[in-house]
Amino acid sequence: MTSQILKGADVAAKLNEENRQRAEALQHMGLTPTLAIIRVGEREDDLAYERSALKRCANAGVAVKQYIFPADVPEVEFLSKLRRIARDRSIHGCLIFRPLPKHIDDAKVCAILPLEKDVDGITPAAMSALYAGTGGGFAPCTAQACIEMLDHYQIPCAGKRVVVIGRSLVVGKPLAMLLMARDATVMVCHSKTPDTAAICRNADIVISAAGRAKMVGMRYMIPRHTVLDVGINVGEDGQLVGDVDFDAASQVVHAVSPVPGGVGTVTCSVLVRHVIEAAERRAAKLLIKK
Ligand code: NAD
C-alpha cells in the first residue's frame, strides 16, 4: 500500500490566496492589517520562523513591525515597550517569540497582551475563549494548522477517534479542544501514558506533537490511519525529521503528512490569516461606532 501524502504546500497555497484577497479588501477600506513581531535574542528557530512570517505577510499585503530586543533587555524596559505596542491602534496582531528569557515574567507579558491581538493564542484569555468555546480569541497557529490540513484533504473528524500525542499548551491541549469542537472523540497521550502505540492502533486519526524523532513507528500504525506529524526534530544525520517514521508510515497508513513539508508549512499562513481576522474585527468595531 502507498499512502496519500498530505502536503502542507497545497493547503498553504489556498490559505495564502484567501489571505491576499481579504487583506486587499481591508486595504480598500483604508486599513492595512499589521503584525508586530516581538523577539528577544537571536535563537535560530525564531529567526527561521520570523523570515517565513515576513515573506508570507509581504505576499499577502500584511505590514510587519519588528521589535527586536537583546537577550538581556531589562524586564521593565521590555514590558514598557510591550504596553505601547498593545495600545498602538495601527497594530492588529502580535507574535511574541517564546520561551522568553527567564528574567521576563510570562504572566506579566500575558497580562499586557490584549485578547484581540493575541494571534497565536498564548494568553490565558485566549485559552479560556478556546476552551469555553466563547470565541473572540485565536487558537494557537500550529493547532489550527492541523485542522486546516484535515479540512483541506476532506478528512472528517466528526465521530472519529483521534489520538493527539503531546499535551503542551502550544499544540496538544488546544488541538484536542479544536477537535472536540468538531465532534471528534479525542484521546490525549503524553510522556506518562502507558502503551501509546496500542491506543493509536485503536484510532482513526493520529496527530503527533511529542518532539521525539521517529517515535511513531510501525507498532503505532494500522492501514485506516490518517497521520499528521507536527514534530520538528533534528535526526541523527542532522536532517529535520518528524515524530513519525515516514518511510514506514507511507507503506502502511491511509494518509500521512511529511516533515518537512507538512503541518509546519501551514502554520505561518494561519498566523497571517489570524492577523487579517484581527484587523477585520477591528474594522467591524469601527463601523459599528460610526
Ligand atoms: P513540548 O515539549 O512542550 O511537549 C511535548 C509533549 O509530548 C509533552 O506533552 C510530552 O508529555 C509529550 N511526549 C513526549 N514524549 C512522549 C512519548 N514518548 N510518548 C507520548 N508523549 C510524549 O513540545 P511542543 O512545543 O508541544 O512541540 C511538540 C513538537 O512539535 C516539537 O517537535 C516542536 O518542534 C513541534 N512544533 C511544530 C510546530 C509547527 O509549526 N509544525 C510548531 C510548534 C511545535
Q: Convert the pLDDT of each residue in 37-52 to its tens digit.
A: 999 999 999 999 999 9
Strand order of the β-sheet with 63-69 is: 63-69, 34-40, 93-96
What average pLDDT does the chain have? Answer: 97
Residue 239 Cα to ligand 1 midpoint, Å, equals 18
Q: Where does the pLDDT of residue 288 fall: very low under 50, low under 70, confident under 90, or very high at 90 and above?
A: confident
Ligand 1, pocket-test mutation among 15, 45, 190, most atoms within 8 A of CB: 190
Q: What are phi and psi of 156, to 5 degrees?
A: -70, 145
pLDDT at residue 123, rounded to an integer: 98
Query: With 80 as the cut, is the pLDDT of residue 1 above it?
Result: no
Give Dmax over CA atoms of the chain in angstroms: 61
Output the nine-digit C-alpha cell for 106: 510570562
3-state secondary structure of 174: helix
Ligand 1 pocket list (CB less than 6 A) = 142, 165-168, 170-172, 189-191, 193, 196, 209-212, 215, 230-233, 263-264, 267
pLDDT-derived band at 287, boundaries 50, 70, 90: confident
Give CA angle at 133 (179, 99), nearest 5°: 75
Q: Are 120 and 148 in contact (CB under 8 A)?
A: no
Q: Single out the residue of 87, 96, 10 nearest to residue 53, CA to CA.
A: 96
pLDDT of residue 193: 98
b/e map of 253-279 (b: 16 or more CB within 10 Å)? bbbbbbbeebbbbbbbbbbbbbbbbbb
Q: What atom of ligand 1 comes closest to residue 263's alpha carbon?
A: 41
Q: 278 CA distance to ligand 1 centroid (A)?
A: 27
Q: Which atom of ligand 1 is nearest to the CA of 211?
A: 32
Most ligand 1 atoms within 8 A of CB, residue of 171, 207, 241 to mutate: 171
- Measured in Å, residue 206 CA sits from the centre of ligand 1 at 14
| Residue of the CA atom closest to atom 34 of ligand 1 | 232
Q: Which of 44, 230, 267, 270 to mutate to test the pocket of ligand 1 (most atoms within 8 A of CB)?
A: 230
Cα 98 to middle of ligand 1, angstroms: 15
282 C-alpha to ligand 1 centroid (Å)? 33
Closest CA relative to residue 100, chosen from 63, 55, 128, 67: 67
* 99 three-class SS: coil
Q: Which of 11-25, 161-175, 219-233, 276-290 has the lowest mean pLDDT?
A: 276-290
**CB-CB contact of 38 with 96 (8 Å):** yes
pLDDT range class, residue 235, cuts 50, 70, 90: confident
Query: In order of start, what are the domains of the chain with their CATH numbers?
Result: 31-114 (3.40.50.10860), 141-264 (3.40.50.720)
Which residue's alpha carbon is nearest to atom 1 within ligand 1? 168
User: Which residue among 43, 120, 169, 232 has the greatest number of ligand 1 atoms within 8 angstroms of its CB, and so is best to mutate?
Assistant: 232
29-88 pLDDT tens trace: 999 999 999 999 999 999 999 999 999 999 999 999 999 999 999 999 999 999 999 999
Per residue in 110-168, pLDDT (tens digit) is: 999 999 999 999 999 999 999 999 999 999 999 999 999 999 999 999 999 999 999 99
216/164 Cα distance (integer angstroms): 12
Q: Which of 238, 255, 237 is nearest to 246 (CA)?
A: 255
Confidence at 286, pLDDT banded by 50, 70, 90: confident
- The tally of CA atoms less than 13 A away on the side-chain side of residue 125 is 14
